[in-house]
Amino acid sequence: MMEEHLFKIAMVGEPGVGKTTAIARFVNGRFNSDTKSTLGVDFSLKHVSIKLDETDYKTTLQIWDIAGEHRYRDLMAIFISGTKGLLLVFDNMNSLESLQEWLEVLDSHIPIKEIPKILISTKDDLNPTLDDNTIRIFISDYNVSKYFTTSSVTGKNIEEMFERISQLAMIPSLLA
């Protein structure tokens, strides 16, 4: 018999980095080029089975798409409470740098040091110019568990990033 779990996963990053399209690709299995900017917050549900230590777990992911506009940051405490995993999303070096500010805001609301974090570079199909050294420093400085380059157009690493954040979110509940 599979154990059932529910995990709240938050995707954060600047407007236009591809959070909404990545979620749509994962939940619906296809790319939607006609997405609109998120106003405030949106969330989607996806039922997944994950395997950890030879045990299968039935998991429901509650994926929160947090709007990137600064005017919504005051509402962050309401939306971010109970988060079990963070997907830190960027599409160029400027949006990577802005994630530092995002983490400072998040840290004032939730214990981000205790929450698994994955760094996500989007729009890989567009061959973005990324500085590997800056990415390595960010990963080290913010205790990021994993880094994925993704494309919502091709589907590259979309399933994998959600599977990995699910596994990372699961571990603390197994140790409790």
- Give pLDDT tens digits for 46-77: 999 988 888 888 999 999 988 766 666 666 66
User: What is the percent of the chain where pLDDT is above 90?
Assistant: 56
Quick one: pLDDT at residue 116? 96
Average pLDDT over residues 3-23: 90
Domain ranges of the chain: 3-175
- Give pLDDT tens digits for 114-163: 899 999 999 999 988 889 999 999 999 999 999 999 999 999 999 999 99
pLDDT at 1 over 60: no
CA 38 to chain centre: 15
49 — phi, psi (to 5°)? Answer: -110, 130
- Residue whose C-alpha is closest to residue 50's, from 139, 175, 160: 160
Which position has the higher pLDDT, 79 or 114? 114
Structure tokens at 78: 């309401």
Quick one: pLDDT at residue 160? 96
Quick one: pLDDT at residue 161? 97
68 — phi, psi (to 5°)? Answer: -85, -15
Whole-angstrom distance, CA of residue 176 vs CA of residue 168: 14
Quick one: pLDDT at residue 81? 84
Quick one: pLDDT at residue 3? 64
Whole-angstrom distance, CA of residue 58 vs CA of residue 50: 7
19 — phi, psi (to 5°)? Answer: -65, -50
Average pLDDT over residues 102-109: 86
Cα–Cα separations (whole angstroms), residue 24 to 18, 42, 56, 152: 10, 11, 25, 8
Q: Classify 3-175 by CATH class.
A: alpha beta
Average pLDDT over residues 95-99: 94
